[in-house]
Chain A
């Protein structure tokens, strides 16, 4: 505790870095996977290819992806962009299947009815499909959020790990307290992000009961573990 107080400025800085570096991939994952999932529903033949490709990307261990991306992006190894892109790839890999399933679960009768009462294809997407798929998309996004926050710490090995720096620094100085503080703060960030997502869900999807109590929320995919 004393250590935490003495180093509060450094820890605060790392905390802010951690939040910043994980918010971007979480939002990017959502923005990328929704259109991809929609494409997968529209073009059945692409579906297998798309889901398969992201399934393969998901198998890449995080440290390996972090150090390979500079060769493809032309970035420096210490560039934060590497970590952001890598975490976005994992995020999309986790989300795209669940999101595609969410769109699939909207019954065709409902879509036909919407067209029948005069929705254009565009407004049908925004006002019928997306709201109905929304709760499942949110549940997937929560998994992405938790995974991203915990996975980011590996980035400390290439200088962009946010709170992960407390792990490497604590290890090098043989000071376990610092590692524990890092773990606890990371868990706290994950918890707060989750609560924020739930709150956003309640505001934008007031019709969805599942988002009202965290206990009853759907487990979208027990197997989308943080596999890295």
Chain B
């Protein structure tokens, strides 16, 4: 516990905020890696996920790819790519993008797939175009699951950006790696606590956004399902009626 108090003392001492190896520049590095990678990953995942979700094409491939990707040790992948491409921002960003795309993709296509078929048929029946169905029906209903995917991708990227300090890149992980190398446990704890706070703050803000943008109708359906005593039976009845 002593160590934690010392580490907190370090974190809350403004002397350690600015300067070459201080908290704020490393926090900025961490945020740049995270933001840049997530942005690129979103540019890749959104069109692909919407296409797979709306058409159902390539779904088996996407499911297999996303679930088997879980088994790949990210640490090994990171060291391998950096070793081959040299140290720098772009090899790291490339690894982070590779890690972020599967959870994003999973959130997007499974969100759309979860929309009831009868809702989509109804939208088509009242004359909506395919694009309108996607943008006005499927996406709003899928928003909670899509943001769930974004939260997972973000956590993954923040965690891996931490490990990137091992290869000499910046970010809050530097404190941990330096602390371990110098046998300075307090310094390692400083890094650990800062990374935890960052992950927590970002995840909670995304959770807040998730609540805000969930359409009110979807929210009541979700809570009704959660409190339902016999969800399976009702779902079965609903399924039989549908099809």
Contact = CB atoms under 8 A, between A and B. Distances in A.
Interface of A: 56, 58-65, 67-68, 70-71, 77, 104-105, 107-109, 143, 146-147, 149-151, 153-154, 156-158, 161, 163-164, 166-168, 170-171, 174, 176, 179-180, 182-183, 186-187, 190-191, 219, 222-223, 225-228
- A-side interface mostly: helix
Interface of B: 1, 3-4, 63, 66-67, 70-77, 79-80, 82-84, 102-103, 106-107, 110, 145, 148-149, 152-153, 155-156, 158-160, 162-163, 166-167, 173, 176-177, 179-180, 185, 188-189, 191-193, 195-196, 199-200, 203, 229-233
Chain A to chain B: the 7 pairs with minimum beta-carbon distance, closest first = A61-B159, A64-B192, A227-B155, A190-B71, A171-B79, A228-B159, A153-B73
A164 B75 CA distance: 8
Contact of B159 (A63, A158, A161): A63
Contacts of A171: 79, 82-83, 166-167
Given A67-B180, A176-B80, A223-B103, 9 more contacts: A63-B163, A64-B192, A67-B191, A107-B230, A167-B76, A168-B166, A170-B83, A186-B76, A219-B63
A68 B196 contact: yes
Given A62-B159, A104-B231, A223-B152, A150 B71 contact: yes
6 contacts: A63-B173, A154-B75, A168-B79, A174-B83, A228-B156, A228-B159
Contacts of B188: 67, 77
A183 B192 contact: no
Contacts of A105: 231-232
Contacts of A143: 70
A68 B155 contact: no
A165 to B, nearest CB: 11
Nearest to B156: A227
B95 to A, nearest CB: 13
A113 B15 CA distance: 67
A188 to B, nearest CB: 10
A32 B158 CA distance: 27
A227 B159 CA distance: 7
A201 B17 CA distance: 53
Nearest to B103: A225
Contacts of A153: 73, 75-76
Contact of A67 (B149, B192, B230): B192
Nearest to B183: A77
A108 B228 CA distance: 11
A222 B106 contact: yes
A195 to B, nearest CB: 13
Nearest to A71: B3
Contact of B76 (A56, A107, A164, A223): A164
B192 A68 contact: yes
**Residue of A104, A143, A157, A223 contacting most chain B CB atoms (<10 Å):** A223
Contacts of B185: 67, 70-71, 77
Contacts of B199: 59-61, 64
Nearest to B228: A104
B193 to A, nearest CB: 7
A61 B193 contact: no
Nearest to B200: A59
A190 B68 CA distance: 10
B73 A167 contact: yes
Contacts of A107: 230, 232-233
Contacts of B149: 223
Given A167-B76, A227-B159, A147 B70 contact: yes
Contacts of B80: 167, 176, 179-180, 183
A222 B73 CA distance: 18
Nearest to A77: B185
A186 B73 contact: yes
Contacts of B156: 225-228
A222 B53 CA distance: 14
B196 A60 contact: yes
